[in-house]
Amino acid sequence: MGGMVLLMAGWFGCGEPTGQPVEEAPSGPPYAPVWDGEPLGGERPVEPVLPVDYDVNKRWPLVIALHGFSASPDWIDDYFGVRREAEERGFIALMPEGTLGAGDLAFWNATPACCDFADVGVDDVAYLSALIEEAQERLAVDPERIYFMGHSNGGFMSYRMACELSEKIRGVAVASGSSLADASACGTPSPLRVLHVHGTEDNVIPYQGGSFGRDDFPGVQDVVARWVERNGCAGVPTEEGPVDLSSGVFGRESTIERWAECESGMSVELWTVNGADHFPWLNLRGQDALFDALLDED
């Protein structure tokens, strides 16, 4: 087990705006008390990132960003540019840390395949649900605009939250992740905005799907097709590209497929990063475009 965990650490671990409209408060009390500077999250503390012009008399979107197996909140911040986007664009960001398992490597217990390799059995759905509730109590969160995003294991967990808590979540953005092997295990989630980013040369979470020997995980096209169906999207997607969204591959490497004609009013996007491995590093243009799509800011 120790050898497998260390190998997984090498696979999953660390590797590189426009203004967000906010809801004006009516006359009366603020939406939340002034943040007291104390972290959220209990035994797994999280310090929120607030917009530079944060005001408790307005409601702000909440974005929860989840790191991959063996990675950290600092790593996911660097990967997606979360702090920069939150402060400049105008949303509240939380970057919690998973539970430390075998070898003191942090993970999210997302699916049977990924990534509680030491069978710790932690309930991360409960932890993240409670984190949302605490954020709504202590910060001026807009309950209609709550989002998850994640890389690898954090992407698995983001999709898990989309299945478990879709009535509270408006959208997810996943890079190099996958979902439950059995589509029916997701139940019948409410429609939500979905963006999936994946490298064609990913040999950890292969584009075509795979297994860790514990359970299978579906390929990218299958994962995206599920959300196209759940969102009631019609017809074929529009296609854009190639465009330069990644700093890890030279030139214009990415193609974008977008399903926008959905009964739900939501959308589904697939960014295929040709030639990229498990870490399709987004350049500044890619980071900005990702948050544009997730937060529906054209």
* pLDDT of residue 7 exceeding 50: no
Q: How far is CA 10 from CA 13, 15, 68, 263, in A?
A: 6, 9, 11, 42
Residue 152 region, left (φ>0) first, then alpha (ψ -120 to 50), else beta?
Answer: left
Q: What is the pLDDT of residues 83-101, one digit of tens each?
A: 999 999 999 999 999 999 8
Q: What is the pLDDT of residues 31-84, one digit of tens each?
A: 888 999 999 999 999 999 999 999 999 999 999 999 999 999 999 999 999 999
Question: At residue 6, what are phi and psi to the nearest 5 degrees?
Answer: -65, -35
CATH architecture of 40-295: 3-Layer(aba) Sandwich (3.40)
> Average pLDDT, stretch 207-232?
95
- What is the predicted pLDDT for the residue at 3? 44
Residue 88, CB-side half-sphere exposure with 13 Å CA sphere: 11
- CA separation for the pair 41, 235 (Å, rounded): 42
- CA separation for the pair 150, 171 (Å, rounded): 12
Identify which of 109, 79, 117 has the alpha carbon closest to the alpha carbon of residue 95: 79
- What is the predicted pLDDT for the residue at 297? 78
